[in-house]
Amino acid sequence: MAERTVLLVDDDDVFVEAVQAVLECQYRVLRAANGTEGLEMIAEERPDVVILDVMMDYLSEGFEVARKLRNDPVTADLPIIMLTGVDQVYNVRMEVDESWVPCERYLEKPVAPGDLLRHVAEVLEDQ
Amino acid sequence: MKPETPTADYLFAAELFGRLVWFVRLRWMAVAGLVAASLIGPSLGLPGVWPALLVVGSVVAAFNIFFTNHLGWRSRREQPYEHLRSCAVRQILSDLAALVVTAHYTGGLQSPALLFFAFHMAIGTIILPTRIMYVVAACTSGAMFTVYMLELNGVLAFHPLDPNRGMCGAACHFNMGAFIFALVGVVALTDSVTSRFKKRNLKLWETTQELRQSTGELQRSLEQVETVEQRKSHYMRISAHQLRSPLATVRTSLQVLTEGFVEPGTDRGRRLLDGALERVDDLLVTVNGLLDLAKMREGRASAPWTRKVNVNQLLTDIFDALEPLAQAREIRLVPEFEGVVILDWGVPPDLIFAFENLIENAIKYSREGGEVVARLRVQGDRATVEVRDQGIGIPEKFLDDVLHEFVRAPNGKRHAPQGTGLGLAIAREAVEAHGGALELWSREGEGTTATVSLPLHLKPMKASS
């Protein structure tokens, strides 16, 4: 099987560096520092799974990227893992419209390396 | 109709209505008495006047039915006081007219019906204004006097209770005088007793109204407290999240190292360790900012408010302190002071924090070689300080948000990655604690103007937090 590609979209470069180190054991890893960069990279590189932070340049950027991906027929089936420091209840309180968060997994930081690898593997398997 | 804010009239109307209902019921007893007297009279051997009493009884019954309907039983809450009062006056006048007729047919000034006049005067004085009752007493006396004179002069027939006796002669003049004196006396006496109760009643009612008002105010304060509590809780959550993010990064970085995904000795290992350290430093800066904010909020309750503040001096000191930073970035600091501005009171450290923050931001987000202008002037009864830069600006959709804790515009983050997002929030807190306002104007790529307006003569505020 060809090496799968994971795209990490997160504005915290240290966190990305750490997660990249974990994922690189099994996958090809690409990184983007914000939503716009992430969308461009998805269009160019066609990753197999995307790991999205929520709060980047603005509060709900991750959610918006996820919605854009789902609404585009080309990327509608791309698995999305939200990996964020903000819990779900909080987003509702912040009046971030979370009525539709189209993601396969919703993980909260910090996540143990083993758990992250398992979630990515499961999501790819479900494909 | 019950008024939005009940007036004293409303209170009296309710009282009056109850009395009028009571009147109508008592009047049926009077009707029964008159009918009974007209039936029993002939058997007592007193012919002649009894059919007249039956007629009076019927008339009283008829106007009692009219008054019952007129009073509007089913809509007591919709009776205005004026209407009820005129009802009461009409009822009393009708009663007294019936009594005059009854007295005429039952012995004139010797009639036992005279006692009921006093009864009406007392009740009337309790429920109606005293001056009305004096007029009623005068009318009644006049009516009774007229009847007496007509009887005396033979114009009206005299109907003695005892057919064997004629008119009482001179003694009846005394009766007439005593009658008038009794009517006026009952009104005066009743008034002296009830006016005190009426006043107390009114006072009690006013107190109740005040109490109701204070209850409303308390309710509103409680709601405000709840809002503040909610805001606090929101602030706690957002602060916790701001701390959690870098902590998560530190933890993940260290875990990646301890679990052997990355060797500490490698380049990547060192990058992770440096990164973790960097995040710990960020955490410290954020925690310090939070402590500053807390200090500022607590400071409002304890700081001495009476100190005058020379804004020119304050800004000059800040310029001196920030000069090295400006020079390093080749930015020119330009003070534009229009006169000397002195605030009646203020907390200098808080104001320094606010202005220092605004000017430091202006320097931080300026491009090299730019200019930062601080313009100080008086507009009306307010001092205005404009801090204007030619820097990167704030995108329009972030203009309001950047004044809140932890919000930074994306271009600002890119331009100066270091920053907690607390500075403007603390500055705003400080300005508002001085009764002032902080407003931002900005155009992305052109620059930002932060305008602080502070009242010159605000009295020291009560400690509040």
Q: Summarize pLDDT for B379-394 with one digit per residue, the tens.
A: 989 999 999 999 999 9
The pLDDT confidence band at residue B377, using thresholds 50, 70 and 90, is very high
Residues of B in contact with A15 (CB under 8 A): 248-249, 252-253
d(CA B10, CA B18): 13
Residues of A in contact with B255 (CB under 8 A): 18, 110, 112-113
Hey, are the CB atoms on B248 and A85 less than 8 Å from each other?
A: yes
Cα-flanking dihedrals φ and ψ of residue B426, to 5°?
-65, -40
Hey, are the CB atoms on A21 and B261 less than 8 Å from each other?
A: yes
Q: Summarize pLDDT for A98-110 with one digit per residue, the tens.
A: 455 678 888 888 8
CA of A112 vs chain B CAs: smallest distance (Å):
7
| pLDDT value at residue B237 | 75
- Sign (positive/negative) of CA torsion B280, B286, B290, B291? positive
| pLDDT value at residue B141 | 94
Q: Which residues pair with residue A50 across a beta bridge?
A: A7, A80
Q: How many CB pairs under 8 A join A and B?
A: 74
Give Cα separations from B133 to B85, B89, B91, B141, B176 (angstroms). 12, 9, 13, 12, 19
Q: Which residues pair with residue B384 across a beta bridge?
A: B377, B453
- Sign (positive/negative) of CA torsion A64, A68, A71, A74? negative
| pLDDT value at residue B422 | 83
Is-cis flag, bond preceding A110, omega within 30?
yes
DSSP characters for B291-330? HHHHHHHHHHHHS-TT--EEHHHHHHHHHHHHHHHHHHTT
d(CA B53, CA B39): 9
- Of B266, B273, B417, give the one whose Cα is nearest residue A18: B273
The pLDDT confidence band at residue B230, using thresholds 50, 70 and 90, is confident
* B1, pLDDT greater than 50: no
Hey, are the CB atoms on B252 and A12 less than 8 Å from each other?
A: no
| pLDDT value at residue B75 | 57
| pLDDT value at residue B87 | 84
Average pLDDT over residues B160-170: 71
Question: For A109, which of B248, B259, B272 is closest by C-beta distance?
Answer: B248
Average pLDDT over residues B243-271: 92
Average pLDDT over residues B201-212: 89
Question: For A14, which of B237, B241, B279 is closest by C-beta distance?
Answer: B279
Give the pairing of strands B447-455 and B437-443. antiparallel
| pLDDT value at residue A92 | 43
| pLDDT value at residue A39 | 94
The residue of B238, B245, B251, B406 whose CB has the most chain A CBs within 10 angstroms, and thus the best one to mutate to test that interface, is B245
| pLDDT value at residue B401 | 81
Question: For A18, which of B234, B253, B278 is closest by C-beta distance?
Answer: B253
CA of B332 vs chain A CAs: smallest distance (Å):
30
Residues of B in contact with A113 (CB under 8 A): 252, 255-256, 259, 261
Q: Summarize pLDDT for B433-445 with one digit per residue, the tens.
A: 888 999 999 998 8
Which pair of tokens denotes residue B419?
A: 């920053």
- Of B283, B198, B296, give the one whose Cα is nearest residue B249: B283
Widest CA span in chain B: 142
- Find the closest chain B residue to A115 by CA distance: B252
Question: Percent of chain B scored above 90 by pLDDT?
Answer: 38
Strands, E assignment, B272-417: 309-310, 332-337, 342-343, 371-379, 382-388
* B461, pLDDT greater than 70: no
Cβ-based interface (< 8 Å): residues of A facing B: 11-15, 17-19, 21-22, 25, 34, 55, 57-58, 85-86, 90, 93, 109-114
What is the residue whose two structure tokens read 């004044």? B403
Please report the ipTM that was assigned to this predicted complex: 0.86
d(CA A50, CA A30): 9
Q: Summarize pLDDT for B124-138 with one digit per residue, the tens.
A: 898 888 899 999 999
* B371, pLDDT greater than 50: yes
Hey, are the CB atoms on B241 and A18 less than 8 Å from each other?
A: no
The answer to whether the predicted template modeling score (pTM) of the entire model surpasses 0.90 is no
| pLDDT value at residue A124 | 92
CA of B397 vs chain A CAs: smallest distance (Å):
10
